[in-house]
Structure 1
Amino acid sequence: MIKWTKVSSRVIARWSCTLTGGGPGGGKAEEQTCFLQDEAAGGRTQPQKKKRRRRKKKSDVFSMLEPSVPSHLSTWVDVKEAIRDKAKELKLGPTRFAACEKPRPDRMAAYQKWIDSGMHGEMAYLAREDRLERRRDPRIVLDGAKSIIVSSMFYWPGKGGFPWPKVSERERLGADSEGRGLVSCYAWGDDYHQIMGSKLRDLATFAVELCGGNSRWYVDTGAVMERDLAERAGLGFTGKNTLSIHSNYGSGFFIGSVFTTLPLPPDEPMKKPSYCGSCTKCQVACPTGALAPTRDFVMDARRCISYLTIELKGSIPVELRPLVGTWIYGCDICQEVCPWNQFSWQGQSSPSWGQVSKDISFPVLRDLLHMDETEFEARFAQSAVKRIGRDRFLRNVCVALGNSGDVRAIPPLRKAMETESDLVKEHASWAITRIAEQQRSSSKTTTTT
């Protein structure tokens, strides 16, 4: 039996059929034949041997037609604007275009130096030679690639968009009231890989249906020099917090890229690599020293709270645990203090989740510690939080509880020491000790006063 998926006459979509038997084109199961439809074949199905199936990634959108300007448009500039209009229709943020060429030599040299210094921590995939090679020459990513569509999707809600006080006040409230933790605002909604990935797939499909050619899209998943692309496309500059910053909307956006064989004229690049000037607010505010005034535009990921709570798979270094505060997934501190993020704005690319419940952005830590695997999967089914798994998440919760000084957390922490994994037990034990130390310190202060 054959399962057929209808596709455009100009586009060959991945898995256009799943072959388990014969089909209209005469193929046989043992030949592993897949029938693909093409406009040039007059709408007739044509057998394609498995070895000729070029696509190996779900992010590919391939056509059998050479790139060309459609009859209703005049030039590739018109095509570029049509793609930009489609991006707006898909509710993506500002979308720009860059030539598919090697990154600036100084950018690649800085990245290699960062890798060589070990600042990428346990993210070994960043140092893989095949990935480094693709960063050095993005043309390897897609055969015949000539252009890169660089798009954005914003998650930063703007100065007026936060439903709760700023970080310093939230941490104080968390310690003094219900004992709540902090979640980076990018994770308040559904997983951005899925949301933006779907939009980029639609954008890539639109480009191929319009002009033929081939495309491959990425959203935080490929070996792509995204900040260099943002600069070259004029989307944003790189700040001292090492994030891309849009001059109107700040740094709170995801970058997505569509590699294409279409010869799209590039947009003007950023005039300067950075517009931070003498400002060091993000470096001074970083509690762990991942950013430092002596190290402009460089982040030591090994000390970054986002790395410690998301990327790090093992134990959080003991000396850094008190500095993590009550963050349980990611961190927004270096963005929250940035002057470029002090605007109140609302546009078509603003966060789709809008005002969220404090149980999402500011959850009660003790409640999280009670979750079993089923409850964790249900609560974070559509969230990026799900990616780190329950063990790492509970590890983070234990550290946050320890830093909260909440004595009400001691019973559930003791239970965790009896029932959870070694990773969670270790951090639960630390949390109990930390709470006890804070209570003793508080008692001494009260007595002295």
Structure 2
Amino acid sequence: MSEQPTINYQDLAEKIKLWGKELGFSDVGICDVDLKTHEQALTKWLENGYHGDMDYMARHDLMRARPADLLPGTLRVISARLDYLPTGAKFAKILKQSDHAYISRYALGRDYHKLMRNRLKQLGDKITAHCEQLNFRPFVDSAPVLERPLAEKAGLGWVGKHSLLLNEQAGSWFFLGELMVNIELPIDQPKANQCGACVSCIKICPTQAIIEPYVVDARRCISYLTIELRDSIPVEFRPLIGNRIYGCDDCQLICPWNRFSQLTSEDDFQPRNHFDHVTLLELFAWDEATFLKKTEGSPIRRIGFDCWQRNIAVALGNAKYDQSIVEDLTKQKQISSEMVIEHIDWALEQQQLKLNKLNEETNLRLTQRLIRTIEKGLPRDAN
């Protein structure tokens, strides 16, 4: 029986990074599986209930910080970055157009999960060809894994105060995926945290969800409220959501490091269905069949039609007064679920308040104009 050839792991690690780039990843790093320093913060975050209704976050206790418990025998994690910023994406412009829908940049194109997982699988297969004893498993949001701390250890960037990973050459507009392996590859060195004294992301958050640096209360986060939450959106947060109907990018938009973001070369991440520039009423007119057809292969589909309608109803309530909005809300109310009707009623109330304010302003202007006309007709010495 022939002996297995000795493997040069340093050479293999360099090949892995090269293969990763060839497969389309923007960057690849390697780290060990020791996340003990993150266990206390994870436990505290869960105990405080900051995960909201995301029961899956607490379901596996501390397994998220223990990759070797998830896949026994794991010695290293290969972390991969994939940039997703689409070309010509309109950011602040859409947020200022209250009658248009703002959809988080990562969700404008096709769902990234399968794409990244397939590439990680291909990377694992390439490694297997050079290392027969390899046992690997790819993950892309598909298991209890602390992906950002792992990516930070692998040298792909540092965790910013908004809890997202930042890279000095790419900002934060990228996806992360992991390949767990049972071979002792050389590890990369973490990057220094370069947020400094900047707190722009904390200040800009519409709902003040970043309660302290590096700690996000998901229950207040617009991404959680519009994507993860399956019940009614708390009334106090509805006006703050604005026209954001799927996710929120404010903390990324304000971040100075995103001046260095890289545009994606992936066609799959380019906007579909004009999601980067579409009116709320156009989307609100979709029936469930249209929603399912238009969101096929999109991450948006997973929230379901009711939550989609719920989110748009809130955004329409926040839009400038428009009789067409009132008419469409009233029409949709006749065929909507109980949860959606609750948000439609709220939106109609908001539109009525805006109409009342417009009428008051109009009456005030007319009164002021009348007073000026009367004053012009009075004698100069009249009291």
Q: TM-score, normalised by structure 2?
A: 0.89
Q: Residue 89 of structure 2: which of 163, 169, 181 is its match?
A: 163
Q: State the 1:374 CA deviation.
A: 1.4
The verdict on how the C-alpha distance between 1:147 and 1:163 changes in structure 2, with shifts beyond 3 A counting, is closer
Tell whether the 8 Å contact from 2:84 to 2:266 is kept in structure 1 after alignment. Answer: yes
**Match of 1:383, as an amino acid?**
S
The residue that corresponds to 1:53 in the other structure is: none
The residue that corresponds to 2:127 in the other structure is: 207
In structure 2, C-alpha distance between the alignment counterparts of 1:146 and 1:112, rounded to whole Å: 24
In structure 2, C-alpha distance between the alignment counterparts of 1:171 and 1:269, rounded to whole Å: 35
In structure 1, C-alpha distance between the alignment counterparts of 2:261 and 2:112, rounded to whole Å: 22
Secondary structure, counterpart of 1:269 in structure 2: coil
Tell whether the 8 Å contact from 2:163 to 2:214 is kept in structure 1 after alignment. Answer: yes
In structure 2, C-alpha distance between the alignment counterparts of 1:241 and 1:133, rounded to whole Å: 22
Tell whether the 8 Å contact from 1:69 to 1:75 is kept in structure 2 after alignment. Answer: no
In structure 2, C-alpha distance between the alignment counterparts of 1:442 and 1:201, rounded to whole Å: 58
**Match of 1:400, as an amino acid?**
A
Question: Which one has the bigger helix percentage?
Answer: 2
The verdict on how the C-alpha distance between 1:426 and 1:214 changes in structure 2, with shifts beyond 3 A counting, is same
Tell whether the 8 Å contact from 1:134 to 1:140 is kept in structure 2 after alignment. Answer: yes
Identity percentage of aligned residues: 37
The verdict on how the C-alpha distance between 1:215 and 1:69 changes in structure 2, with shifts beyond 3 A counting, is farther
1:31-71 Cα distance to aligned partner (Å, 9 max, x none): xxxxxxxxx9xxxxxxxxxxxxxxxxxxxxxxxxx9x667x
The residue that corresponds to 2:56 in the other structure is: 125
**Match of 1:117, as an amino acid?**
N
Q: State the 1:133 CA deviation.
A: 3.1
Q: Residue 23 of structure 2: which of 90, 104, 113 is its match?
A: 90
In structure 2, C-alpha distance between the alignment counterparts of 1:377 and 1:252, rounded to whole Å: 27
The residue that corresponds to 1:6 in the other structure is: none
Q: State the 1:362 CA deviation.
A: 2.6
In structure 1, C-alpha distance between the alignment counterparts of 2:155 and 2:83, rounded to whole Å: 16
Tell whether the 8 Å contact from 1:287 to 1:324 is kept in structure 2 after alignment. Answer: yes
- Note the residue ranges of structure 2 that are not aligned, 5 or more in a row: 366-383
The residue that corresponds to 1:139 in the other structure is: 68
Q: State the 1:209 CA deviation.
A: 2.8
Q: State the 1:344 CA deviation.
A: 5.7
Matches within 5 A, 1:24-39: none
Q: Residue 114 of structure 2: which of 194, 209, 218 is its match?
A: 194
The residue that corresponds to 2:144 in the other structure is: 223
Q: State the 1:343 CA deviation.
A: 2.4
The residue that corresponds to 1:284 in the other structure is: 203
The verdict on how the C-alpha distance between 1:98 and 1:224 changes in structure 2, with shifts beyond 3 A counting, is same
The residue that corresponds to 1:342 in the other structure is: 259
The residue that corresponds to 2:325 in the other structure is: 409
The verdict on how the C-alpha distance between 1:400 and 1:216 changes in structure 2, with shifts beyond 3 A counting, is same
- Alignment of 1:397 with 2:312, yes or no, is yes
Of structures 1 and 2, the one with the larger relative CO (CA 8 A, separation 6+) is: 2
In structure 2, C-alpha distance between the alignment counterparts of 1:156 and 1:242, rounded to whole Å: 19
Q: State the 1:103 CA deviation.
A: 0.4
In structure 2, C-alpha distance between the alignment counterparts of 1:344 and 1:93, rounded to whole Å: 12
1:326-358 Cα distance to aligned partner (Å, 9 max, x none): 011111111000000012644xx5453576467
Matches within 5 A, 1:20-419: 75-100=8-33, 102-105=34-37, 107-128=38-59, 131-157=60-86, 161-164=87-90, 166-167=91-92, 169-172=93-96, 174-175=97-98, 179-212=99-132, 213-270=134-191, 272=192, 274-292=193-211, 295-343=212-260, 345-346=262-263, 350-353=265-268, 356=271, 359-405=274-320, 406-419=322-335
1:133-152 Cα distance to aligned partner (Å, 9 max, x none): 32232111222111110001
Tell whether the 8 Å contact from 1:181 to 1:364 is kept in structure 2 after alignment. Answer: yes
1:238-277 Cα distance to aligned partner (Å, 9 max, x none): 111110101110011111000011221111122x3x2211
1:281-319 Cα distance to aligned partner (Å, 9 max, x none): 111111111124xx1111111011100000000000011
What RMSD in Å do the two structures reach over aligned CA positions? Answer: 2.0
1:101-138 Cα distance to aligned partner (Å, 9 max, x none): x2042x2211111111111110011111xx22322321
Q: State the 1:446 CA deviation.
A: 3.9
Q: State the 1:441 CA deviation.
A: 1.8
Tell whether the 8 Å contact from 2:252 to 2:258 is kept in structure 1 after alignment. Answer: yes
In structure 2, C-alpha distance between the alignment counterparts of 1:370 and 1:324, rounded to whole Å: 20
Q: TM-score, normalised by structure 1?
A: 0.77
In structure 1, C-alpha distance between the alignment counterparts of 2:270 and 2:108, rounded to whole Å: 10
In structure 1, C-alpha distance between the alignment counterparts of 2:272 and 2:291, rounded to whole Å: 17
In structure 2, C-alpha distance between the alignment counterparts of 1:226 and 1:87, rounded to whole Å: 17
In structure 2, C-alpha distance between the alignment counterparts of 1:447 and 1:222, rounded to whole Å: 59
Q: State the 1:407 CA deviation.
A: 2.8
Aligned length: 362
- Note the residue ranges of structure 1 that are not aligned, 5 or more in a row: 1-39, 41-65
